[in-house]
Amino acid sequence: MIHHELLERMHSRVDAWDATGDRRAIFLACYALMTRNMLEGVEAGRFDDNAWVHTLVHQFAEYYFIALEGYDCGAGWLPEVWRQAHNLTRTPNVPPLVHLLLGINAHINCDLTLVLDDLLRGVWDDLTPLLRESRRNDYLMVNTIIGETIDVVQDTVLERYSPAMNIIDVAFGSLDEWVTARLIRNWRRDVWDRAMVLVQTHDTQMREALRHQADLQALQRMRLVVTGGALGARSFGFSQRWLRRLGLMADTKDD
């Protein structure tokens, strides 16, 4: 079992939340499992550049904790999608699966876009085509590792918070299908494309608008689950391109 300070930080927060019935523990417990698998992948040498992925994992987690501190303290950096996701953990009768999906949505569609921009913006122009492809390959390898975690997430985390999780609501279908076939494939591809636009945008004002747009786009996805009924739930993991075609996601430039 991997021993790591980041995992201890996550588990400590989960234990504290479990003791008080704070349902923010649901997402973080799942995220801790995925982070452990990522760190084990780094130690096993599964990436082209394991040091780069190690940095990615830590900066990604830091975005989560900074937003959490902003929420708890009422000050600091806090995307609206995280504010609303945390608020919903205080609402009775929201299924654990919804808490998990909203956390994944905020962390991938908002935070991950910004983390990739942070890591690649200053070096992208100087990377060779081979190194650029290596960065993308490492990013995509994360998809595989997250997929390997899903069964454990369902068996050891979600069922702990909801014993009926072995029968997932019909609006969502199989958790494996949702996370591996839809969320990972569609969202992470969307995120990479958005991050590449950000990385290659040098105008400061435009960059700030694009970074804010990541929050708005994640917020639109969140609303599909929260207010969109069965159609919204089934469409939640679609790519942006298809959501716009279906009229379920607006162009955030007008938001």
Query: Among 103, 221, 238, which residue's Cα sits nearest to residue 158?
Result: 103
Give the separation between CA 71 and CA 28, rounded to whole angstroms.
Answer: 15
Token digits for 15? Answer: 């234990």
Q: Taking residues 136-160, report their average pLDDT.
A: 78
3-state secondary structure of 3: coil
- Looking at residue 255, what is its pLDDT? 38
How many other CB atoms are there within 10 angstroms of residue 81's CB atom? 27
What secondary structure does DSSP assign to 169-229, as a single string?
Answer: -TTT--HHIIIIIIIIIIIHHHHHHHHHHHHT---HHHHHHHHHHHHHHHHHHHHHHHHSH
User: Is 70 exceeded by the pLDDT of residue 230?
Assistant: no
- Looking at residue 42, what is its pLDDT? 95
pLDDT band at 168 (very low <50, low <70, confident <90, very high): very low
Q: Taking residues 128-155, report their average pLDDT.
A: 84
Using only C-alpha atoms, the chain has a radius of gyration, in whole angstroms, of 18
User: Is 50 exceeded by the pLDDT of residue 50?
Assistant: yes
Q: Which residue has the tokens 């994944």?
A: 104
Q: How far is CA 216 from the centre of its chain?
A: 14
User: Is 90 exceeded by the pLDDT of residue 166?
Assistant: no
Dihedral (CA of 181, 94, 103, 36) sign: negative
- Looking at residue 227, what is its pLDDT? 74
What secondary structure does DSSP assign to 23-78, as a single string?
Answer: THHHHHHHHHHHHHHHHHHHHTT-SSSHHHHHHHHHHHHHHHHHHHHHHHHT-S--
Q: Taking residues 130-149, report their average pLDDT.
A: 88
Cβ contact 146:39 at 8 Å: no
Token digits for 200? Answer: 């290659």
Q: Output the CA angle 5-63-196, nearest 5 degrees.
A: 125
User: Is 90 exceeded by the pLDDT of residue 132?
Assistant: yes
Give the separation between CA 190 and CA 179, rounded to whole angstroms.
Answer: 15
Burial of 178 (0-12, 13-18, 19+ CB in 10 A): buried
- Looking at residue 199, what is its pLDDT? 96
pLDDT band at 194 (very low <50, low <70, confident <90, very high): very high
Alpha helices in 79-181, H assignment, sequence order: 80-88, 96-105, 113-120, 129-152, 159-161, 175-176
pLDDT band at 241 (very low <50, low <70, confident <90, very high): low
Q: Taking residues 7-11, report their average pLDDT.
A: 96
- Looking at residue 96, what is its pLDDT? 82
When mean pLDDT is compared across 32-41, 167-176, 228-237, the lowest value belongs to 167-176
Q: Taking residues 236-248, report their average pLDDT.
A: 59
Most confident of 48-52, 140-144, 215-219, 227-231: 48-52
User: Is 60 exceeded by the pLDDT of residue 249?
Assistant: no
Q: What mean pLDDT is reported for the chain?
A: 83
Q: Taking residues 171-190, report their average pLDDT.
A: 61
When mean pLDDT is compared across 84-93, 155-164, 204-213, the lowest value belongs to 155-164
pLDDT digits 0-9 by tens, 204-224: 999 999 999 999 989 988 888
Query: Among 138, 155, 143, 131, which residue's Cα sits nearest to residue 55?
Result: 138
- Looking at residue 247, what is its pLDDT? 60
Q: Taking residues 53-73, report their average pLDDT.
A: 96
